[in-house]
Chains A and B, each alone.
Chain A
Amino acid sequence: MPKITYIEHNGKEHTIEAAVGQTVMEGAVKHAIPGIDADCGGACACATCHVYVDPAWADKTGKPGGMEQSMLDFANDVEPTSRLSCQIKVTAELDGLVVRMPPSQH
């Protein structure tokens, strides 16, 4: 299973194995990794699963879709590689992915 590393805003790293077909958000939440709230459970309804994709991986994860971009417009501390992690599907290609958490989700 592809490995994903989540780095909390305080620098604490968590590496987990995520199932292909899950989302990057689900990988974090199901392992109770702090820093991603994902209140709506992945319905793209709340914008509380914001992450910064490591720039080395930004091409592989791609750009936000229209709905996602509209939600990111209202998130705090947005950066060029900001994504909602519920909209990034885990694939074999993403093995080794690194994402960082923003200071807060609300």
Chain B
Amino acid sequence: MTQAVERVVIIGAGQAGGEAALRLRAGGFEGAVTVIGEEPLPPYQRPPLSKKYLSGEWDQDRLLLRDREAYAQEKLVLRLGAAATAIDRAAKTVRTDDGQDIAYDALILATGSRARALPVPGADLPGVFRLRTAADVDAIRAWIRPRARLAVIGAGYIGLEAAAVARGLGLEVAVIEAAPRPLSRVTSPEVSAFFLERHTAEGVTFALSAQAAFIAGDHHVESVGLKDGSEVAADLVLVGVGVLPEMGLAQAAGLKTEDGILTDADTRTSDPAIFAIGDCARRPISFYGGRLCRLESVHNAIEGAKLAAAAILKASPPALEAPWFWSDQYDLKLQIAGLFQGYDRLVLRGEPGPQGFAAFYFAGDKLIAVDAVNRPAEFLGAKQLIQRGQTVAFERLQDMSVPMKEIVAQARPLS
């Protein structure tokens, strides 16, 4: 872009979109900022949806990232309950569902992701839910009562967090997972085994290597039928089988996509006036040799927002963080730094148990990720090492008598 940017339009009012608007203002941008969001709520946190919001501990206001008034104070226009229907790249306008065209000099796509549907008969029966928005959780909560039978299809983070909350609320919980172990896409067999054991001890039953064939019920869900012929009785069903990037607008506008809207390291898409951030985008991650990653996380939403705002303002880019994630289940806090895919060695620090432990993942002698359970020092220490491109000896990590802080202080650069 050679001309000065005076009008920014942001499609998507989730954490990435909301954060990008605020970062533009914080960076000194004085032009018009319009944020278009389909949900009725101003930007809110999604991670608590399957945790403290599902449990009822948090109300809706507590989910909000900022007070409702904060946006007006910053002269940011939120158009909520509105959908963008098309992007005209030549005219640099965004069409909304009420037929308006909003002009932009820079456009940020923060369209997020949508829950993957379960392609089986009965998936649209009353009592079958997904967990993606606050409204989804409100609908689930209306069905929650003690001793109700919940079938969770998909043993990812969302499914297992919901299972843990549901046990706490007195529901009977069965988890159905197509892979032979829970969390198979996101962690190692060792960490999966630990979470499987804990959920089992809490009374959750598992059907592993099991695929749902249909959901049955007359007027409301009554059971989930599995491909092996067995049935899991259920009063409500939660489908948590992953998400797909929301990139229809980008594709219709001819932007390059491949499992996400493709961007450069600054979050710029194949059109230099358009940026893509958050769950919908795929960008190179420097700590992993510039591998193109589509990350579904708070870290990625915030970092994308910072990068896009800096690029639009022609400011210096923010310091990058190693990707990080977390999951709360029962009294376990799992904190993850880095990306574990492609590891060839797992080093355990502490024995898996309620007192906490950490699993460090190495590719050769390069530390690439950690899963830390109730071990915040190991999480933050490993995150710093990955960001600095440093590594440590395997034996050192296994020695619990040496504090993590000391291990990090004595780390060495990768050869």
A67-B326 Cα distance, complex, nearest whole Å: 14
Q: Please, which residue of chain B has its CB at the minimum distance from the CB of A74?
A: B380
Do A30 and B47 form a contact, CB below 8 Å, given A74-B380, A74-B381?
no
Q: Is B48 an interface residue (CB 8 A)?
A: yes
Q: Is A20 an interface residue (CB 8 A)?
A: no
A21-B67 Cα distance, complex, nearest whole Å: 16
**How near does chain B come to A78, taking the closest CB pair, in angstroms?**
11
User: CB distance B299 to A67 under 8 Å?
Assistant: no
Q: Please, which residue of chain B has its CB at the minimum distance from the CB of A37?
A: B302
Interfacial chain A residues near B66, Cβ < 8 Å? 29-32
Q: Contact flags (1/0) for A62-101 with B, using CB distance below 8 Å?
A: 0000010011011000000000000000000000000000
A39-B47 Cα distance, complex, nearest whole Å: 11
User: CB distance A74 to B384 under 8 Å?
Assistant: yes
A82-B403 Cα distance, complex, nearest whole Å: 20
Interfacial chain B residues near A74, Cβ < 8 Å? 377, 380-381, 384, 405, 408
Q: Is B414 an interface residue (CB 8 A)?
A: no
| Interface size range on B against A | 20 to 34
User: CB distance A46 to B324 under 8 Å?
Assistant: yes
Interfacial chain A residues near B374, Cβ < 8 Å? 67
Q: Is A4 an interface residue (CB 8 A)?
A: no
A67-B374 Cα distance, complex, nearest whole Å: 8
Interfacial chain B residues near A45, Cβ < 8 Å? 324, 326, 333, 335
User: CB distance A32 to B22 under 8 Å?
Assistant: yes
User: CB distance A44 to B377 under 8 Å?
Assistant: no
User: CB distance A71 to B302 under 8 Å?
Assistant: no
Task: Name the contact of B48 in the complex, choosing from A22, A30, A41, A46 (C-beta under 8 A).
Answer: A41
User: CB distance A44 to B45 under 8 Å?
Assistant: no
A47-B337 Cα distance, complex, nearest whole Å: 13
**How near does chain A come to B20, taking the closest CB pair, in angstroms?**
14
Interfacial chain B residues near A71, Cβ < 8 Å? 376-377, 380
Interfacial chain B residues near A26, Cβ < 8 Å? 62
Q: Is B190 an interface residue (CB 8 A)?
A: no
A43-B384 Cα distance, complex, nearest whole Å: 20
User: CB distance A39 to B377 under 8 Å?
Assistant: no
Task: Name the contact of B298 in the complex, choosing from A31, A39, A67, A106 (C-beta under 8 A).
Answer: A39
A26-B52 Cα distance, complex, nearest whole Å: 15
Interfacial chain B residues near A43, Cβ < 8 Å? 47-48, 51, 326, 328, 333
Q: Is B258 an interface residue (CB 8 A)?
A: no
Q: Is B136 an interface residue (CB 8 A)?
A: no
Q: Is A1 an interface residue (CB 8 A)?
A: no
Q: Is B321 an interface residue (CB 8 A)?
A: yes
Do A39 and B64 form a contact, CB below 8 Å, given A32-B74, A71-B376, A74-B384?
no
Among all A-B residue pairs, the 7 with the closest Cβ atoms = A74-B380, A45-B326, A70-B377, A70-B376, A32-B70, A41-B45, A30-B67
11 additional A-B residue pairs with CB within 8 Å, beyond A37-B302, A71-B380: A34-B26, A39-B299, A43-B51, A43-B328, A46-B326, A47-B380, A67-B333, A71-B376, A74-B384, A74-B408, A106-B321
Could you list some 24 contacts between A and B, CB below 8 A? A26-B62, A29-B66, A30-B66, A31-B66, A32-B67, A32-B70, A37-B302, A39-B298, A40-B298, A40-B326, A41-B45, A41-B65, A41-B298, A43-B51, A45-B326, A45-B333, A47-B376, A47-B380, A70-B375, A70-B377, A71-B380, A74-B408, A106-B319, A106-B321
